[in-house]
Structure formats: C-alpha cells, structure tokens
Amino acid sequence: MVGILIVSHSRKLAQGIQELVSQMIQGTVPIAIAAGMDDPQRPLGTDPLQIQQAIEALDCEDGVLVLMDLGSAVLSAEMALEFLPPEQRSRVKLCGAPLVEGAIAAAVKAATGGNLDQVYQEAYQGLHAKQTHLSFEGTVANLHPATATPPPESREIHLTIGLPMGLHARPAAQLVLNAAQFQSQITLRNLTRQTSAINAKSINQVMMLGTRQGDEIAIAATGSDATAALACLQELVENHFGETDLEAPPPALAATPAIENNKLVGIPASSGIAIAPLYLYQSATSIVQHHHSDYPEIEWDELQLAIETAKKELQTLQHQTFGKTGEQQAAIFTAHSLYLSDPELLAEVQTPIFEQHFTAAAAWKNTIDRTVARYQALGDRDLQARAIDVADVGERVLRLLAGTIASRIELPEPAILVANDLTPSQTAQLDLTKVKGICTVSGSATSHSGILARSLGLPAIVGLSSQLLRQQPGTLLAMNGDTGELWIEPPPAELRQLEQKQQRQTRTTQPAVALSTPTATRDGHRVKLMANINTLADAQAVKGSGAEGVGLLRSEFLFLDRTTLPTEAEQVTIYQEIAAAVAPEPLFIRLLDIGGDKPLPYLKLPSEANPFLGYRGIRVLLDRPELLKTQLKAILRVSHQYAIKAILPMVSAIAEVQAVQEILSQAQLELQQANVGFHRQLEIGIMIEVPAAVNLSDRLAGVANFFSIGTNDLTQYVMASDRNNAQVAHLADAFAPAILRNIQQTVTNAHRAGIPVCVCGELAAYREAIPILIGLGVDEFSLPVSVIPQLKQLIAQIDGDEAGAIASAVLNLDSGAAVREYVASRFSLPL
C-alpha cells in the first residue's frame, strides 16, 4: 500500500490533517507527519532529516507520496530525497497538491489499492470538487443576493496619444501595469479608428489596437475604484507614459523587391556604415514531440513553473540590457514579462490543456502560433513586427518546458549578421566586437530589435528582399544604415565611397578631446572615467573608448544560462581573459549580486513578498560561505597578474564587511597552503546602495578601500519607490535633492578617510548630472562604454569652481525637475 507523508511548518496543522484523514479512511492507510521544529522558541519550520526519517519509518513497498505546505517545505523535502538510497528514492513522489484536499484524495485512492502514480494523480484532482462546489455556490449567491448592493461606479475619459511612435510596447506595458493595480474592469477603445472595446489589462489586446500619434482613445472603468483608476491612467497618458525620447521614428522608405546592380534597398533602422563578410543566421524553433496528456493538472503546473522561470530570466536580461543601453530600452523586457501574465492569453492556453488534454508544450505552442498569426494579419507593418516579440517569449517558455538551455548567436569573426528576423532577446545579447551590422528580411524600423540596435550603435537595415538569405556566407557586404542601401560584393568605386563616408562619420563622431588623454575639467581637475561591463565581449570594447579600466564588472553573467555554479577554475579563466583585455588598466569585480530582480533559479532562493527588501546581495553570499570563498579565491588568483579589485554588493552593516574579510583570510590561507600565488593586499570596496550604508559611511570608510555608489538602487531605497511600479516610478528620480544629499554625505565621509568614490549607476550617464557630481567631489565615474567619448568631451568643458557652485545650489531645490532646469540654465550642454 502507498503511504502518505504530510510535511508542514506547523506540527499542530499536520497533526490535525493526519487525524482528519485517518478518521475518513478508518486508519487503513499509513500516514506520517514531518512538521515543525524541536525548538520551543521557534516551533515553525521544516527539517530535511526529520522528513527522511519519516519516509524510512513508513517503509511502504508501494511507495510514499509526500505532500508539502509552502516555501522551504519543498526545499526540505527535495533535500531529504538526496539523503535516501537510490532504490528508496525512486519510490517517493513529491506532490504540490493542496495539503488538506490532496491528503484526503490521496488517502482514499491509496485505501482502494491505487499505485503511487494513481495516488499522485488523485491528489492533484483533490481541489476540483471544492472549486466546482464554490463555483456553484457563487452562482446561487448571485441569483439570490442576501442584501442589495449599490451598482458599481462606471466612468469614461477621452484622451489623445502624443507619442511619435504611438502606443508601442513600452508605453503599452506601462498602461497595462497601471491598469492592473486596480480592481475595476478597465477597457480601451480607439475612437479615431473606431475599434471595439478591449481589456486594458491585456498587453496583446492593447498592442493590437494599433494606436498612433494623434489618435483619440476612450478609457472606461467600472468598479469601486474606477475614479482613482482613470485619474492614474489620465496622468500616465498626459505624461507620455514616462517616455523621454519623443523623436519621430526613422522614415519608412520603399524597399526593393529584388537585387538590382548588386544592390538591395530596405528600411533604415539604425544609422551607420558597415563593411564586412556576410554571416547567415538561421533560427531554430522548438519542436513539440508529444501532444496528448491524461494529466492536465500536472501539465498546467509545469506550464506555470516554466512561465515563472521565464519571467525571472527576463528580469535578468532586462538588468543586463539596462547596463548597455539604459533603462528606457531595457524596459522592452518588461513588456515581454507582461505577455506571460496576459489574462487573455493564459485563458486561451488553459482550454486545450483541461478540455482537450493537450500537453503544456502543445497547448502553449498552439496559442502562441495563433497570437503571432493575429499580429501578422494586421494591416500595419509596425504592428506586424510585434509578432516577433510574442514568438520570442513563446520560444523561451517552450525551451524551459523542454529543459534545454538557450543558445546565443556567436560569430567566429567580425561580420554583418543576416537573418530572416532577430528577436529582441537575441539582439540584446549580441557580441558587439563581432557583429558590425544587422540586415533582416522581416521587421520594421520601430521593431524592438531596431530600437535596441540604435541604442547599441549597430547599423541596421530591415525589410530586405528574401534573396539576401540565398547569398553565400562570407560574401562581402557593404551597408548604409542611414539610407537602407545594401551592396553585395560592392564594385571598387562604390566600396571606396562607402569607406570614405565611414571615415568621415568616424571623424565627425569622434570627440575633440583625444581619447588617450586623461580626463580632466577645463581648469585641470582630474576625473577618472571607467566602463560598466557584463561580459568578455564588453571588455574587448573598452580599449579605444577612452575608458581607464572597468569600474564595474557584473559577475552575474558567469552564473547565468547554466544549471550549476561555475567552478573556481572556470571563474579564473574568464576573469583572466577580461583582465587581459583591459590591462594594464584596473578591473573592479562586483561579487555575485543576486536576489531581488536578479534571480538564479538553480540556487532555489525562496520566494519573497518583497524581494528588494529581502534576501539579496551580500546577504546571500554570507549565507553560502563556500560560494563566496570560491569566487574570492578565483579573484585572488587573477590578482597575482592583473590589477584586480573586488566590490561587495548591498552592504548595510559593518559586520557584513568584517564577515567577508574573515572568509577572504580563509581563502588566502588555502591558496597559500596550496602554493598558489595571489596579491596579498587585494583592495575591497563597498557598494553604497542603501540608506544604512550612507548613514554608516564614516565608519564603513574605515574598513573599505573605496566606495562605489549604485544610484539606481540607492534612489529606489531612499525614495521608497519601486522603479518597476508604474504608480510610484516617477518618485525614483536620481536627480532628486534627497539622492544628491546622500551622495554628498558619502563623498564627504570617504574623503575624510582618504578613499575615493565612484558613481557607477545610471545617473553617471546623464549629461546634466556630470557637473553636479563633479561639484560634489565624485572622483570616478563608471558607465556604459558607448557614452564615454561624449562625456570625456563634456567634462573637458566644465569649470571645477562653477560645478561646485551648481552642486551647492541644487542641494536646496525642491525636486529633480527643478535640478535639471537649474543645470540647463547655468551650464550649456554640448550636443
């Protein structure tokens, strides 16, 4: 007979369920519990050893079904399985069914002689009867209400869209995020185009509305918070959805249907000239092997897990893209996450799973394919281009359902990348040292891949003839992203003209200040400019940019797109390659910074109600000392050859720094005993990201060699505003005087202790912020490679005394907007 084990944080809860189930089946099924902790002060919790012992005590030849309540109970049960012999482990199943309903259903099935698989399935079915009963009761209650309730409030407002690119994905995402905050039903109509009302909480329906600049829309809300909802959405529309780039998109030129005189003409998507061999990329899509399943509940649960994992991957990709292109372009992946939460899409995929018994993969693929077809059937080319976004998200989930790891586009040598189309995920992760330009058959100038290409500085042409895909790899191409012209094996005369134009463009964009000279203000005040990077490819772009090293290597990239932690040897190899690429300049490596918006699935971090205030950064590292020690040993080994420094993320207490120093000492001792060379005075810096670190900066300066201010997180925490929450994101303004005062306090305390301060957050990339930060005494800036040449030129035009006066004045203003206006009135920012 199959035995049942109930795992719960509460012993009393588990005992109650055990008693209830035993009475119902009259003790015919062996039932055990593993619940609570043997600690009167902390009785709630789960213990893997207790679970293992309970499984062994049941000793059921037909197997054991383990039911768990929540959170760490799942992790404890998984760990307990690892302690069991392989033979016994094969006869244990973990089940995520609801605890009470699942236990009752499983026990009844076990009592009738069901095998382990049947008991498992019955447990999953346990909630259906309750759901059906509640649905019936709800219907009856609606037919016979006990008391009369007032009709819900219903209102409608009419607004005009002022965005040059219309209601594209980023503003559509903001609309959906804002609408989702309210209980009311919210609909949207395009009055100009006379569309029907759609669900404003569905990203796909909002996108397919095809709203353009100048279109009048109607937003209607029905419910208890309708007035508040419409006020919020009206403010969002009138503020242009928070978009700062209000320039019109590139003009859509007519494309040539065929190759004429070795030339094609497509749609210019990103300016610039590129001359390089052709590299043809042919994308592969996931193939669904099985279409039928007898266990719809399991299929639905697997789909939900894949969707949640995909959301975490997108959060990581958004963070990486943010470091390369800035917040506005990275927000593309916020829209991708919303596709995965679209209520209409999820309802559509649920039906084939539960009614037609499709597998999760088959149901998901069919639903995505239908959604893509709807976009492609629209009459607007720009809207048709959004199909690639849905396909991108759909493929990500299919890959996770299949258990495969994503592959990136990797070019063996510099080339122009040619493809039918590129997804935003692929574009964001291109190696900029190898990809010199992009040419695609599909797409539009306003596609997300086009937007990302412009932000990355990659020439791009879209909408080219499919004849391009039949050209031989290695064929010489020359492209002009300004005009949309592409030459195949260009004639010598044409090639010379393009090369000359490319050289003129390079001279035009090259700053007047030589990139090789040290950065300094007009009156000779020295400022150091360094680069923020994510990968080895980023590091290879540092030289020649004017950067004086890498001020922030986000080491998370080493830990992503894999299923296990990187070994010490793997870390040594990549750190050496990156350090060599920027040598003799220094390399600052931020220790693994995960949690919050940067999950790492295989570490199985607990789910949190508020992850930004929870288990992240240094807190995770200190809780996993072996992980931390391995990374420190790898950094120490590379420090023997190169100028390496380490940065601690999310520090909020002196004890955290001291604990890291103890583990660092252990790492040094182990390397010494192994006769491995390392730099004995590795410099350790601290990320200033939370108010506690600012308030303790006088003390922290005594245990650190330098400070790095992460203005993105610091702004979020000081202003108590989640930058991913559309309703409060406007408060997360790094120009706010409160943030500038925190920077001033940090710089003052650091300089008293004789250590330098670097600003490595997005604030450093804003031209208006540079005179303020210089005036506050910031010593170093670390920012995306692409903006370094322009900021080098800008700093050369700043007078140090004038910057000091500006900084003193803005500290006493009332808002971030007032700060920007003041800087603009006092300092002429060159274009």
- Catalytic residue numbers read 448, 760
d(CA 318, CA 309): 14
d(CA 686, CA 649): 7
Nearest of 708, 733, 740 to residue 552 by alpha carbon: 708
d(CA 29, CA 4): 8
Q: What angle do CA 460, 552, 677 make, to 5 degrees?
A: 125
d(CA 231, CA 171): 17
383: Cα separation from own chain's centroid: 24
- Beta-sheet strands, E only, within 666-756: 683-688, 706-709
Which residues on adjacent β-strands are paired with residue 264? 486
252: Cα separation from own chain's centroid: 31
Residue 200 phi/psi, 5° resolution? -75, -5
Nearest of 162, 129, 787 to residue 515 by alpha carbon: 787
- Beta-sheet strands, E only, within 133-246: 154-160, 185-190, 198-199, 216-222
Contact (Cβ atoms closer than 8 angstroms) between residue 511 and residue 520: no
Q: HEC string of 512-538? A: CCCCCCCCECCCCCECEEEEEECCHHH
Longest CA span, the chain: 93
Q: Calculate the alpha carbon distances from 153 to 196, 198, 220, 557, 583 in Å.
A: 21, 19, 11, 49, 65
Around 17, how many Cα atoms within 13 Å sit in the side-chain half-sphere? 28
Which residues on adjacent β-strands are paired with residue 159? 217
